[in-house]
Structure 1
Amino acid sequence: MPSDKWKKFAPETVQLIFTAVEEDDIVNEQTSLPQSIDLQCSQENIQNYYALCLQFWQEGFTRLELQGLVHKVLKGGELSATERMQYKYIRSRYKHLRFAQRLYSKKHESSLFFRQTTVVLGHFQDAFRNGNKDAIRFYGNILRIYLSLPVWIRVHYALRHTRLDSENGFIVYRQEQMRALRALIAKPQLTGREFHSVRKFISQQVSYYDTLRSIDPSNQDAYKISRFLANINGLMGDRHDEMVADKLAGRKAYDEPALLDINIRQRLELFLARYPM
């Protein structure tokens, strides 16, 4: 799709996706799934979903704003509560667009520099949260390169010239993802890496329904699925925090196999049972 043909949405729609992304990991027991999940998605909708995700990223911050936050931490400064929230929101926009590239693009993968920037933003956030000066220096200097003007221009070009998948290709990709998820949770125990893989599958799915419900606010099924998956995401996030704490305290290795919490497993199994394979 030509770079100048991406649809632009009203500010109200962009605000809706911001709200949806903010709810991505909120645990809410009052969630339910529709009896069936419709996988059909027109080519126009695939284009619109990617366009909204791109706009959500483009309009959320400037390169200089993000550079300023990174440079402040690199110089030994501490981000204020407002600046930490600003950094969190920027990273959320990166993650949402990375999921969009995986979902809607022909290759179902994120472009190299954009993907790497998203990953390093997470490592840098962990570093300054924990006061790890070596990690701050290491990842901060990588971000200085990724946020330099030549790389920034290249990233923008790749994002605007992403080739999107067909209707059928999009359905097949999602079904493959869910079959892989089903194979993972068929195991009685999961390693830390497998647990992380399960969470990535769910995060990607919730990003899709967040976008769908933002473009079509009247779609109650999309809203229900979004909130149901966000609940799983939140439960898995809480469990992940426990796993990291156990690792840091020396109580249990992160990758040691463990039973999947029954509250998480039951919700995953229900979702897969209603997902057309």
Structure 2
Amino acid sequence: MPSSNFSLESPPATKAQLAALMQNILDDDVVNLQAPCPTGPAPDLTAMELADCYRLAWQLLVTGVDIPATRRLVAAIAGKGSATAEQTVQFKFMRARFKKMRFACANYSEQHAYPESLDSITRLMGRFQDAFKNGQRYRTLWLGIRLWCRLRDGFFAGLHDTLIEAKLSTVESFQRYIAVENQHLAETSREDAFLTARQFHDLRKIISRRIALSDTRRALSSSPEYDALSLFLATINGLMGKMHDDLVVKKIQNKLVYEQELFKFPDEISTRIRALVM
């Protein structure tokens, strides 16, 4: 990143850290309506911790995703137009690692943005997953072919170069980024808020990035503050995920204009977001 001696591979994460992060990811949409909102701020991250979090996300991706095996999985689902329960879980776990890396780029890079190559393939994975989960056989085939073509052996090498060439966020830039996102959360979750499905989905991305941040930090070093924050964020994320799944189904059934139709932001979710950022 900023210095020539920065390495995404070294120091290597321990097996325990990688396992803890993956488990955190799997738990990040578990709803616990009794989870209290943390009363104190989460500990600030240092420059070294920002680098460690970035590195851990990269190592989780490259140690857990085998490109040839993933291509075979995509081909099997695309060819049949549907996925077995086992294939659905395998694809979900694989995509979770890509999403985690994408969130890391937003959280820890100076640009606080997704690299285009990583963003486009992760979004393609999401559309492919929606297609086979909702029984869209022809769409599953078409998107599967596109995804199979994108998953080349050189993908990780190209992404590695992109991440190395980027600049790691400074602590000050990171704090400004968090403040801007908090402001957006506060404004969008006000009591009289109405949203489109697209705006709702974009809002959920902020929550997803925030829980990814907390999950990575506590995988590196356990903290009661981060544990409590992740539990509360997981409830918000789970509630929003279930609602967005329903919105996607309505869109597929032509019962919802995804980009335009407004609906009231459910109090069950908005009150929790306001408690988090106000």
User: Is TM-score (shorter-chain normalized) higher than 0.5?
Assistant: yes
How far does the alpha carbon of each residue in 1:101-155 deviate from its partner, in whole angstroms, 9 at most, with x for none? Answer: 0000011112111111111011111122233233223222221232123444312
- The yes-or-no answer on 1:204 pairing with 2:209 is yes
Q: Greater shift after overlay, 170-179 or 24-33?
A: 24-33
The aligned counterpart of 2:140 is 136
The aligned counterpart of 1:190 is 195
Once residues 159 and 40 of structure 1 are traced to their aligned partners in structure 2, the CA distance between those partners, rounded to angstroms, is: 23
The aligned counterpart of 1:31 is 35
- The yes-or-no answer on 1:8 pairing with 2:9 is no
1:82 to partner: Cα distance: 2.2
- The yes-or-no answer on 1:70 pairing with 2:74 is yes
**Paired residues of 2:25 and 2:212 also in contact (CA < 8 A):** yes
1:169 to partner: Cα distance: 0.7
C-alpha change, 1:156 and 1:67, in structure 2 (3 Å) is farther
- The yes-or-no answer on 1:153 pairing with 2:153 is no
Aligned length: 272
Q: Greater shift after overlay, 237-246 or 123-132?
A: 237-246
How far does the alpha carbon of each residue in 1:6-65 deviate from its partner, in whole angstroms, 9 at most, with x for none? Answer: 431111111111111111111111212332214621110001111111111111121111
- The yes-or-no answer on 1:257 pairing with 2:259 is no
1:99 to partner: Cα distance: 0.3
Once residues 154 and 245 of structure 1 are traced to their aligned partners in structure 2, the CA distance between those partners, rounded to angstroms, is: 35
Q: How does 1:159-170 map to 2 (within 5 A)?
A: 159-170=163-174
**Paired residues of 2:108 and 2:174 also in contact (CA < 8 A):** yes
Give the alignment partner of residue 59 of structure 1, picking from 40, 60, 63.
Answer: 63
Q: How does 1:83-232 map to 2 (within 5 A)?
A: 83-186=87-190, 187-217=192-222, 219-232=223-236
The one-letter amino acid of 2:276's match is F
Q: Greater shift after overlay, 86-95 or 250-259?
A: 250-259
Q: Greater shift after overlay, 166-175 or 78-87?
A: 78-87
Once residues 277 and 61 of structure 2 are traced to their aligned partners in structure 1, the CA distance between those partners, rounded to angstroms, is: 30
* Secondary structure at 1:47 match in 2: helix
The one-letter amino acid of 1:169's match is S
**Paired residues of 1:69 and 1:79 also in contact (CA < 8 A):** no
**Paired residues of 2:81 and 2:140 also in contact (CA < 8 A):** no
C-alpha change, 1:180 and 1:6, in structure 2 (3 Å) is farther
**Paired residues of 1:14 and 1:52 also in contact (CA < 8 A):** yes
C-alpha change, 1:14 and 1:174, in structure 2 (3 Å) is same
**Paired residues of 1:102 and 1:109 also in contact (CA < 8 A):** yes
- The yes-or-no answer on 1:270 pairing with 2:275 is yes
Identity %: 28
**Paired residues of 2:214 and 2:229 also in contact (CA < 8 A):** yes
Once residues 177 and 214 of structure 1 are traced to their aligned partners in structure 2, the CA distance between those partners, rounded to angstroms, is: 23
How far does the alpha carbon of each residue in 1:159-193 deviate from its partner, in whole angstroms, 9 at most, with x for none? Answer: 45442111111111111111122222235211212
Q: TM-score, normalised by structure 1?
A: 0.91
Q: Which residues of structure 1 form unaligned runs of 5+?
A: none
Q: TM-score, normalised by structure 2?
A: 0.90
Q: Which residues of structure 2 form unaligned runs of 5+?
A: none
Tell me the C-alpha RMSD between the 2 structures.
2.0
Once residues 244 and 40 of structure 2 are traced to their aligned partners in structure 1, the CA distance between those partners, rounded to angstroms, is: 30
